Amino acid sequence: MVRVVCLSDTHNRQGQFEVPEGDLLVHAGDLTGRGTLREIAVALGWIAALPHPEKVVVAGNHDFLFERDGPLARSLVKNAKYLEGTAVEAAGLRIWGGPWQPRFGDWAFNVDRGAPLAEKWKEIPEGLDILVTHGPPMGILDRLFTGEEIGCEALRDRIAAMERPPRLHVFGHIHEAYGLHTTPATIFANASICDIGYAAVNPALVIDLPAG
Helix (H, G, I), strand (E, B) or coil at 165: coil
Cα angle 17-71-29, degrees, rounded to a multiple of 5: 25
- Report whether 44 contacts 64 (CB < 8 A): no
**CATH C-level class of 2-209:** alpha beta
Residue-level pLDDT at 190: 98
Q: What is the pLDDT of residues 93-128, one digit of tens each?
A: 999 999 999 998 899 999 999 999 999 999 999 999
Cα angle 69-74-76, degrees, rounded to a multiple of 5: 110
Predicted structure pTM score: 0.97
**What single string gives the DSSP state of each residue in 3-51?**
EEEEEB--TT-TTSS-----SEEEE-S--SSS--HHHHHHHHHHHHHS-
CA atoms within 13 A on the CB side of 93: 28
Residue-level pLDDT at 211: 80
Of 207, 205, 208, residue with least CA distance to 19: 205
Residue 83 has a CB neighbour count (10 Å cut-off) of 21
For residues 107 and 120, give the distance between their C-alpha atoms in angstroms, rounded to a whole number. 17
Radius of gyration of the CA atoms of the chain, in A: 15
Listed by start position, the domains of the chain span: 2-209
190: enclosing H helix or E strand: strand 187-190
Which positions of the chain have pLDDT values less than 70?
212
For residues 172 and 51, give the distance between their C-alpha atoms in angstroms, rounded to a whole number. 22
Residue-level pLDDT at 212: 63
- Report whether 138 contacts 121 (CB < 8 A): no
- Report whether 170 contacts 6 (CB < 8 A): yes
Mean pLDDT of the chain: 97
Residue-level pLDDT at 11: 98
Cα angle 140-141-144, degrees, rounded to a multiple of 5: 120
